Amino acid sequence: MMTDILAIPTNVITGFLGVGKTSAILHLLREKPANERWAVLVNEFGEIGVDGSLFEGNHRSEQGVFIREVPGGCMCCSAGLPMQIALNQLLLRAKPDRLLIEPTGLGHPVEVLQTLSGQHYRDILDLQKVLTLVDARKLSDERYTKHQIFNQQISIADVVVGNKLDLYQSEDKPALEHYVKEYGNKHAQIIFTQHGEITTQHLAGKTSFTNHTHHDNHHHSAEEKPSLAEAPIPKCGYIKAINQGENFHSIGWRFSPSRIFDYDSLSSFLSSIKAERIKAVFITEQGIFGYNLASDSNITVIELDDCVESRVEIISADVTKEEWETQLMACISSSH
């Protein structure tokens, strides 16, 4: 099936919620050589799937960038089938010169790497450096340092990227260097940056990951859920989806493209939410915009060229709030 697709340079770019993975990939895509085709497989914890729309609003297949999403939690679950199906389809469509894979911040990167380095992909993919983004300020928070996935992400990294350097205190940088020395790969490179500004130079080179040195106790569910990221939107004009796992909750909505949002009301609503993570794309009366918020920063807004429909995903450590839906619906413009 893929006999003409061989040894594609492949990088896994991982990191916990809100650390800047999407910004880093967008930055790399801006550096992509004009004559190359790149593919991005992106996995999200939430069921709705927003990252694909954010990427496609900035980069399109006409520019040599091909995007595929796997929403709904860790993409290695269900015996790896969601990831393998999406990856196979992406590779056949894109025939890329490079593949970037972004697991969800709450996913299990060891099992993703085990699938990618397994027999099925051994000749197809050339597994290169694994990059893990870390916000060093989180090392003082036990919700991170005692979280198995946070530590697993550091342990498998060939390059640890201390992101958000512009927000660090004097002790944060040496704290990350010490933490990586204690818990990371002994050959790992540590770099520091802000706004996810990494370069293509950090991608090249073989990964030190091997199946033999990593064992994960994560158990897969054999149950496959229908994808709400692609289901038809019913007559009511929207779909809501919820998910939970790894001590986090997500709630998301997809809206019919006929629903136009009021830009000012929407900005006020999104800025008022206290959550670990907000990602959204919205069609408003002022244009199409992408929204991005991590728990420790203000919401950022970028104008997009296009999107198919409005989507939003909110991830919270607490149970999601019912009033969010009422407030969100109130942002739909009555004049459209």
pLDDT of residue 78 exceeding 50, the answer is: no
What average pLDDT score do residues 328-336 get? 84
Residue 1's pLDDT is 52
Q: Output the six-digit token pair for 21.
A: 């993975």
What average pLDDT score do residues 44-69 get? 69
pLDDT of residue 306 exceeding 60, the answer is: yes
Q: Output the six-digit token pair for 323.
A: 């009033």
Distance of alpha carbon 139 from alpha carbon 135, whole angstroms:
8
Distance of alpha carbon 185 from alpha carbon 278, whole angstroms:
31
Q: Are strands 8-15 and 131-134 parallel, antiparallel or unpaired?
A: parallel
Q: Output the six-digit token pair for 249.
A: 């909750």
- Per-residue pLDDT tens digits for 313-324: 888 877 667 789
- Per-residue pLDDT tens digits for 86-126: 899 999 999 999 999 998 877 778 888 988 888 889 899 99
232: number of CA atoms within 13 Å, CB side?
2
Residue 214's pLDDT is 54
Is the model more confident about 304 or about 52? 304
Band (pLDDT 50/70/90 cuts) for residue 52 is low
Distance of alpha carbon 228 from alpha carbon 230, whole angstroms:
5
Residue 17's pLDDT is 82
- Rounded to the nearest integer, the mean pLDDT of the chain is 85
Residue 56's pLDDT is 60
What average pLDDT score do residues 1-29 get? 86
**pTM confidence score:** 0.76
Distance of alpha carbon 111 from alpha carbon 11, whole angstroms:
15
CA-nearest of 218, 213, 36, 17 to 106 is: 17
Is the model more confident about 108 or about 255? 255
Band (pLDDT 50/70/90 cuts) for residue 79 is very low
Q: Output the six-digit token pair for 322.
A: 């019912």
Q: 88 near 99, Cβ under 8 Å?
A: no
Distance of alpha carbon 83 from alpha carbon 87, whole angstroms:
6
Distance of alpha carbon 22 from alpha carbon 133, whole angstroms:
11
Angle formed at CA 19 by CA 288 and CA 174, multiple of 5 degrees? 150
Residue 181's pLDDT is 95
Q: Output the six-digit token pair for 27.
A: 């930055």
